[in-house]
Chain A
Amino acid sequence: MALNATSKLLRSASPIKLLTASYHPNVIDHYENPRNVGSLDKKDDNVGTGLVGAPACGDVMKLQIKVDDNGKIIDAKFKTFGCGSAIASSSLATEWVKGKTVDQALKLKNTDIAKELSLPPVKLHCSMLAEDAIKAALSDYRIKQKNKDKTAE
């Protein structure tokens, strides 16, 4: 009896309204159909790996890029442990860096990601983490290339 009353109460609280109050459709889209999940060979000289965040903080993002000889990003993969916004931000980031040059990718800003996903104020930090992940991956790639040049000399 008591259970019935509770479930009626829950139903009357209109779950649909509650759902629309949480995440923007763009976030849900990326969360439910994340693009480019996976890994690239981190030992490959043409692959840059960025790992940001920390488990203790709640969010970890791994973003990898593969760059061809012309400096163009031909592939990007990510794995993220974190909230829906963090997952969506990194998914979107991989989508956006693909096809860009390294320099173009560096110009990608957290504000662009936040805008596309309509992130609320508290979730802006997730888009910042995605920007950091891109920068870390690009920096890793550049360090690898420099070391390669050195050994070639």
Chain B
Amino acid sequence: MHLLRNILLGRQYNKFVRNNYGLCSGRRHFSGINKVSSISSSPMATEVLFIPKSPKINSITDTRFYCVTVEVDPNTFEKACEETLESLTDYFEEIVEQSNLNDADVSYSSGVLTVNLGREHGIYVINRQSPNKQIWLSSPVSGPKRFDLIAEDDYWVYKHSGETLHQLLQMEMSKVFANGVDFSICTYSKL
């Protein structure tokens, strides 16, 4: 039984890699999504889906992958993304208002949240990146990062460091806002 399972996993694995990696063309990328979503109905789904961390794949190009978040369906992503960004917008507006940063400004429109913390602290941009099903963050302190949705636990993670979106914001914002911040009250947060 165990052997059979491994063989099955191995086969799924090859199929998965063939369809999703090695810089596929647009069409193949999407056909990959279909394949995986059909796989996810099987009980082995989770094991198959965590394969991107496999050393075999890393050895091919040893680089970051931009289009691998195949496990989240588009509707779940859009909903989670919008809720996350709106919740962040509300919270940023609140903390900016309570702070003494007079040249700060928060604006959100069509999936792009821009938090201008003024001359001293710079501009943060947090935006929806639908093709990759990611949220992208650009920080004047730590640079650009791409976050994937972990749908089952409701949070966004930067897969190379394991850091979550809200952990990063909590850390960097607590240095900007002297009165302290608490990003755990936002939706899809995990600190």
A interface residues, Cβ below 8 angstroms from B: 50-58, 60, 110-111, 114, 120-122, 124-125, 127-128, 132, 135-136, 139-140, 143
Contact = CB atoms under 8 A, between A and B. Distances in A.
Contacts of A132: 63-64
Interface of B: 23-26, 29-30, 59, 61-64, 66-67, 112, 114, 122-125, 127, 129, 131-132, 136, 138, 140, 143-144, 146
Contact of B24 (A54, A121, A140): A54
Contacts of B140: 121
B63 A135 contact: yes
Nearest to A140: B61
B61 A50 contact: yes
A124 to B, nearest CB: 4
A121 B132 contact: no
Contacts of B127: 122
A56 B67 contact: yes
Q: Is the interface of B mostly helix, strand, loop or mixed?
A: mixed
Which 6 residue pairs spanning A and B have beta carbons closest together? A139-B62, A124-B144, A54-B67, A136-B63, A121-B138, A121-B125
Given A57-B132, A58-B131, A128-B144, A52 B63 contact: yes
B88 to A, nearest CB: 15
B71 to A, nearest CB: 16
B29 A139 contact: no
Contacts of B138: 121-122, 124-125
Nearest to B67: A54
B131 to A, nearest CB: 5
Contacts of B24: 54-55
Contact of B23 (A60, A120, A135, A139): A60
B106 to A, nearest CB: 14
B80 to A, nearest CB: 19
A54 B29 contact: yes
A127 B112 CA distance: 19
A55 B26 contact: yes
Contact of B59 (A56, A57, A110, A143): A143
Contacts of B131: 56-58
A128 B129 contact: no
23 contacts: A51-B23, A52-B66, A53-B23, A54-B23, A54-B24, A55-B24, A55-B26, A56-B67, A56-B131, A57-B66, A121-B114, A121-B122, A121-B123, A122-B112, A124-B138, A124-B143, A124-B144, A128-B143, A132-B63, A132-B64, A135-B62, A135-B63, A139-B63
